[in-house]
Amino acid sequence: MKSRIYLDHAATTPVGMAARAAMVAALDMIGNPASVHTGGRAANAVLEGARDAVARFAGAAPEQIIFTSGGTEALGLALHGVRGPARVLASATEHSAVLGARDDIELLPVDASGTIDLAALEAALAGGPALVAVQAGNNETGVLQPLAEVAALVHRHGGLLLADCVQSAGKLALPAADFIALSAHKLGGPPGVGALIVRDPDTLQAVQRGGQERGFRGGTPNLPGIAGFGAAVGEQQDWAEVAARRAAMEAALVAAGAVIHGQAAPRLPHISSIGLAGVPAATQVMLLDLDGIMVSAGAACSSGKVKASHVLGAMGVGKKGAAAAGEAIRVSLSPATSAADIAAFTAAWLAMAARLGRKTGA
């Protein structure tokens, strides 16, 4: 069987050894964390120990951590449970977990690099305080947003900032936001668990009624998942080497005429959005998969279907001769991605472009 190379870490990354061990230990426990007997108290100690670990990781207090089923639920809890501002603003390149959460979200434009238009944000905030949702780093292009400037504008106008840090957590310092969404399975933890960091619990009300998580979330906690989450955030990773390997990969592709979307902007160290003009993203993903290389189309995570990227569309891709918004793949790396993996992908991509007789570029 052909060896497989996994380059889709922005979708999910393998569970680390520390997280695995913590989950196995939690699976061996028999108590519900809400029970007052010995087993319940032991389970609750694991739960609160994980909460303490996530709080240390986030530079927050334990009472500011609300465990959820993942980043989507964390974002939804903030978007639907916020107290105060009735309006919601979001950049046009936000994840579908934000854009699909409410029907009344006012979209803010981005420039050709994918960076939010601060002047447009300030003009929108002149209409009154709002909850403003902005990703720290985009899940398709890796483009970083100027969250310090965004936070200053939002707070100057009496609003609240929701930062989607699902992709950036563990790679960059968390911002000074009112709400921060995290997801364990992007950090070497298991899928099905995440957290919403709430700087001031008085700014949030429950959406799902229940007694757990101090009344903010119902249902028995996912103790093995939470234990794995707490263990995962304690493991440090070297992302500088990842960035160096991505830079080498992109240089080789650009030399052959590839388009790297968002390349002019500051980006997360592990994500590349690569355009191949005239070739649908689905075709590229399938051909590379046949070569043993697993990548994704940028929009695939929202529905399981490959379609034109709303992120690239908002950046103006598809205009003025640039590669179309439906013709880009996402390659995402991890510290475990080797130079040999990068070389194999680069060779496969160049061979694919040559076989299809296409030229990339504007």
* Residues that are catalytic: 301
Tokens describing residue 180: 């921060």
Q: Say how far residue 311 (Cα) sits from the centre of its chain.
A: 14
What is the C-alpha to C-alpha distance for residues 250 and 260, in angstroms, rounded to an integer? 7
What is the C-alpha to C-alpha distance for residues 218 and 210, in angstroms, rounded to an integer? 4
Residue 2 is given by DSSP the state -
Task: Specify the long-range contacts of residues 44-51, CB closer than 8 Å, at least 24 apart.
Answer: 46/223, 46/226, 46/227, 47/221, 47/223, 47/226, 47/227, 49/230, 50/22, 50/226, 50/227, 50/229, 50/230, 50/231, 51/226, 51/230
What is the C-alpha to C-alpha distance for residues 117 and 121, in angstroms, rounded to an integer? 6
Instruction: Tell me how far CA of residue 346 lies from CA of 148, 258, 279, in angstroms.
Output: 36, 11, 17
Helix (H) or strand (E) holding 5: strand 5-6
What is the C-alpha to C-alpha distance for residues 88 and 235, in angstroms, rounded to an integer? 35
What is the C-alpha to C-alpha distance for residues 253 and 181, in angstroms, rounded to an integer? 33
Helix (H) or strand (E) holding 21: helix 17-27
